Structure 1
Amino acid sequence: MPSPVSADRSAAQPPGRDPVEALITQARRLKGDVDAVRRDVRHDDTDPEERWQRALYDLALHQLDDLDAHLAQLRDGPEPPPTAPAEPAEPAAALTVRPAPVGTPRGSLLSRVGTAEWDLLTDGATWSEELYRILGRDPALPALTLDELPSLVVEEDRPKLTAMVTDCLIDGRPIDGEFRVRRPDGAVRTVHMMGEPVLGPDGGTVSMWAVLRDVSALRHSQRTVHETRDSLQRHQQREQTEHRVATELQEAVLPPWRGSLRPPHRGPRTLDLAAHRLPADGGAPIGGDWYDALELADGETLLSVGDLTGHGVAVASGMATLLGAVRGMAMAGTQPGRLLALLNQLLDATVHPALGSAVCCRYRAATRTLVWGQAGHPAPLLYRDGTGCALDAPEGVLLGATPGAVYGQAEVSLVPGDLLLLHTEGLVPEDGGPAAVDRLLGLAPRFGEARDARDCVRALVEEFGGAGRVDDACVLVARVTA
């Protein structure tokens, strides 16, 4: 903003009022819209992304406040230069901002912009009323000279101010920089200073004028944006690391799903097995779902699926612990009902209690019987001769919900060609209700035409593995072959 009386340039003329008024109206309408959207943002200080969004809205509002005030100054134009006095002419007056109207709040932008001129010939200084407010000085006191001004500046910023003033007075460079001032009440404010030298008839510098603006609130908003952005980036990096670790842990614990699960049977293969984990859509955190198939020492086969509530590394680690306990107790000959009761005690005794659900089955190939129990989990589905049904569930509540809970078990006779489907609750979007069971039973014709268990898993993935999944899910298919 050049001085209207600088020797090397003429006073700028403001544009017509109507275009500027239109811009002011648009700016204020936009400010109102931004403020309305900001009020709709949830004030959840625990969410880094919401803190970052709110900080950006605050910064945008500060910028629009500045734009509004600058347009108002553009509309009103510069103060007219003073009339020439009869005495010898004083140094030219600098451009000043119109005083804030009576009743202007102390925190408004107009009260944060002031002007000053320092006369090099008389070593005098002239400050606007707004500048006294910015610097916290009593208007009854004389304005500080250029030599005295650094006394208000924070010590670390004094060299910066000195360099700006020297460049302006000696080299004729415009001033454009910031420094911090410490007010008499102890408050520290950030001041942005813009100015130019005023040249006399001989081309020498006779005075320096400047516009000083309190940008403390603006800089605070910018710092908040930077800090919340950095916090959000750290939060996202931590989430990515936790997701990677949880994924690696889950992949290390679960049996491979590519191809049929083939336990190392010592005799003829009696079950055709395949399994798969369906991840949630959009990179959601890893959950605690698992599946397992394990040949036991007595020749029986363990089949299990389950889900530990929650997401992330801690839940994946808990799932690994739980699955290890299932395998160990099954290898020791523990039957499904008793096994689930011991799992319930294990979850109840952990330092970080959690809830879980599970189905545990022991298949006896010699008699083609399935002994199974459940803990608050969807029952296995049995498909035979092109139709399907859910097995009648024995007694059982969620793991970790009730200390000392009792878990029953049931026994089912199977025949060659029968197909069992074990799955976790998140497989179907209907969250395991009757509609979910109906959709799964509706796959009976496709299962009947499948060549093996792997084809059945492929049909499940095609039906339920598309976009829009909100949770992980696991499926395990077992078909009786002999």
Structure 2
Amino acid sequence: MPSHLFADRPAHQPSPRGTVDELISQTRRLRGDVAAVRRDAALDEDDPQGRWQRALCDLAVHHLDDLGSHLDQLREGVPAQQGEPATATGEGFGSFPYEDPAPHTGSLLSRVGSAEWNLLTDDINWSEELFDIFGRTVQGGPMSLDELPAIVLTEDQGHLTTMVTECLVDGKPIDGEFRIVRPDGRVRTLHMMGEPVLDPDGCTASMWAVLRDVSELRRSQRAVHDSRDTLARRQHLDLTERRIAKEMQETVLPPWNGALAYPEHGPAALDVAGHRLPATDSTLIGGNWFDALQLPSQQMLLSTGDLTGHGVSATSSMAMLLGALRGMALAGIRPGPLMGHLNEVLDSSGQPALGSALCCHYDPASRVLSWAQAEHPAPLHFRGGTGRTMAQPDGMLLGAASAAAYEQAQAALLPGDLLVLHTDGLTRGADARDGSGVDRLLALAPRFDGLNAQECIRLIVEEFGDGERQDDACVMVVRISG
């Protein structure tokens, strides 16, 4: 019911019918587009970003529902008086099932109702929509201002009392929200806007108000807020985990700058260089490693490996496994038995994982390479401008089965020979799913002639560095010295 305060003011001239109808059509089309975006959003409830996107779509739909209901009212003109059912022509703005698990209290137009409380005659006039909002029957009658706090949530009663008192006593307009408990037990959030109506002497004669049910709107806003906070926490956790995983990886992998000559004392037997190439998706920090270590026997330990998974769990397992590998190699355990012990370490780990690995011992005195592998790419051997893949000894994936046995192979090397040890992330990119990545490495053989280990690494990075990689990769180049 309109306020008497505006009775002497000229009525606002409504927009031409065609203009309002066009606005309604545009709003309806936009609502359908937003709803389609919502339906296409990810359905994984564990995905914080998907929940945030869906919550934003829900909120946008509710805003468009409200806009549509207001435009419908604008088109219909002055609302029906009490006792005359309010009707709306046209298609309306019905809600999608996902918008509110609880049934709505009537049509969207019933979300806005008006009331006037006459302080002189105690008459109370409620619009039919307000009865629907409060869940009351017309026969039960409207509620007085004194009765209203009885259905308001305890924590909101003081706020409502303050708003009404300031309106009646101080003449301040009402603009605030409170929550009510309907007879059916449902809690609804109402937004109330009102003003005092003054008599000729300037005293408050009545109070007029419009009440709007904003429950769905506030629910959607809370969902957006909560999902945004969840997404922010998830992003912070992901960022922290990536930082820890990267720091752990950088701590474990050899901090080489340039090539290294082994052994450290005496005539150099090996020229060694290594490099790590990150995955195309920089968030995928895996359990790849490469390592070179001089043993007390003056032999050299050369190893590469790759554990399943990404993040802290993968890098921590990699650090554990590499530490075990180094410790057993320093204790004099040969590659074949060493791989068996690594398998038991990974199989009994508190963080179950699978891994591939390559372990080599090189004896500078005899120039013999002894090696074993666990489902890992074999070393590539280059000599005289040609390259080949070394024949693999048998060995199953680390952690796949207990008490697995690993064969050990040997190969005699010559001064000037080159070995390339790598993880499969180097040759298993999007453009090398058919195994052509290994062929591309072997094709570099003529270009490797005359280059030291570090120069060969640069050549490999130039060839593979710009390609798309599904996983990070490690590569190590070993040049046999004279």
Task: Normalising by structure 2, report the TM-score.
Answer: 0.91
Are the structure 2 counterparts of residues 273 and 326 from structure 1 closer, same or farther at C-alpha, using a change threshold of 3 Å?
same
The alpha-carbon distance between structure 1 residues 216 and 261, as it changes in their structure 2 partners (threshold 3 A), is farther
With over 3 angstroms needed to count, the CA separation of the structure-2 counterparts of 1:295 and 1:127, relative to structure 1, is: same
- Once the two structures are TM-superposed, the CA of residue 108 in structure 1 deviates from its matched residue by 3.8
Structure 1: distance between partners of 2:84 and 2:369: 89
Q: Deviations over 1:94-133 (max 9, x none)?
A: xx99825599974542232222111222122111222112
Structure 1 counterpart of 2:245:
246
Decide whether the 8 Å contact of 2:72 with 2:88 is kept in 1.
no
Structure 1 residues 383 and 19: CA distance shift in structure 2, 3 A: same
CA offset at residue 237 of structure 1?
0.8
Q: List per-residue Cα deviations over 1:401-452 (Å, max 9, x = no partner).
A: 12222211211111121111111111131566421111211222332253x2
Q: What does 1:288-303 correspond to in 2, within 5 Å?
A: 288-303=287-302
Is this contact kept in 2: 1:348–1:403, CA < 8 A?
A: yes
Report the AA paired with residue 335 of structure 2. Answer: P
* Whole-Å separation in 2 of the counterparts to 1:14 and 1:205: 31
1:175 partner letter:
I
Match of 2:44 in 1: 44
1:287-309 superposed Cα distances (whole Å, 9 cap, x missing partner)? 11111000011111010000110
Q: How far, CA to CA, are the matches of 1:106 and 1:453 in structure 2?
A: 77
| Cross-structure match for 1:365 | 364
Structure 2 CA distance for partners of 1:332 and 1:172, relative to 1, 3 Å: same
Could you say which residue in structure 2 is the equivalent of 1:477?
Answer: 477
How far apart in 2 are the matches of 1:10 and 1:404?
Answer: 94
- After superposition, the Cα gap between the structure-2 partners of 1:263 and 1:175, relative to the gap in structure 1 and judged at 3 Å, is farther
The code of the aligned residue for 2:446 comes to P
1:445 corresponding residue in structure 2: 446
- CA RMSD across the alignment: 2.5
Counterpart for residue 274 of structure 2:
275
Quote the offset at 1:201 in angstroms.
4.4
Shift of 1:462: 2.3
User: Which residue of the partner structure matches residue 330 of structure 2?
Assistant: 331
Q: Which moved more, 1:307-316 or 1:260-269?
A: 260-269
Work out whether residues 378 and 392 of structure 2, in 8 Å CA contact, stay in contact via their aligned partners in 1: yes
Aligned to 1:22: 22
Supply the AA of the counterpart residue of 2:418: L
CA contact (8 A) 1:97 1:113 kept: no
| Compared CA separation, residues 226 and 263, structure 1 to 2 (3 A) | farther
Whole-Å Cα distance in 2 between the matches of residues 433 and 390 of structure 1?
A: 16
d(CA) in 2 for partners of 1:267, 1:325: 28
Equivalent position of 1:425 in the other structure: 424
Change (3 A) 1:370 1:2: farther
Instruction: Please list the CA deviations of residues 364-389 of structure 1 after superposition, one character each: whole Å capped at 9, or x if unmatched.
Output: 11111111111011111112222211
In the alignment, the residues of structure 1 paired with residue 234 and residue 126 of structure 2 have an alpha-carbon distance, to the nearest angstrom, of 48
Code of the aligned partner of 2:173: P
The residue number in structure 1 matching 2:153 is 154
Q: 1:292 to 1:8 in 2, by over 3 A?
A: farther
Structure 2 unpaired stretches of 5+: 95-103
For 1:109 and 1:56, the matched residues in 2 are separated by 20
Q: 1:21·1:75 contact (CA, 8 Å) conserved in 2?
A: yes
Q: For 1:201 and 1:400, how far apart are their aligned partners in 2? A: 91
- Give the SS at the match of 1:477: strand
- Please tell me whether the aligned partners of residues 347 and 353 of structure 1 are also in contact (alpha carbons under 8 angstroms): yes
CA 1:97–1:441 in 2, change beyond 3 Å: closer, same or farther?
Answer: farther
What is the rounded CA distance, in whole Å, between the counterparts of 1:48 and 1:168 in structure 2?
Answer: 44
- Work out the CA distance in 2 between the residues paired with 1:5 and 1:449: 97
Distance 2:313 2:249 in 1: 11
Identity score, percent: 58
Q: 1:63 aligned to 2:50? A: no
Q: Provide the residue aligned with 2:389 in structure 1.
A: 390
Name the aligned partner's letter for residue 53 of structure 1.
Answer: Q
Q: How many residues align structurally?
A: 468
Counterpart AA for 2:46: T
Match of 2:212 in 1: 213
Show CA shifts across 1:72-114 (max 9, x none): 122222348x9xxxxxxxxxx9xx9982559997454223222
Question: Aligned-pair distance for 1:203?
Answer: 4.6
* C-alpha distance in 2 between matches for 1:358 and 1:432: 20
Which runs of 5 or more structure 1 residues have no equivalent in the other structure? Answer: 83-92
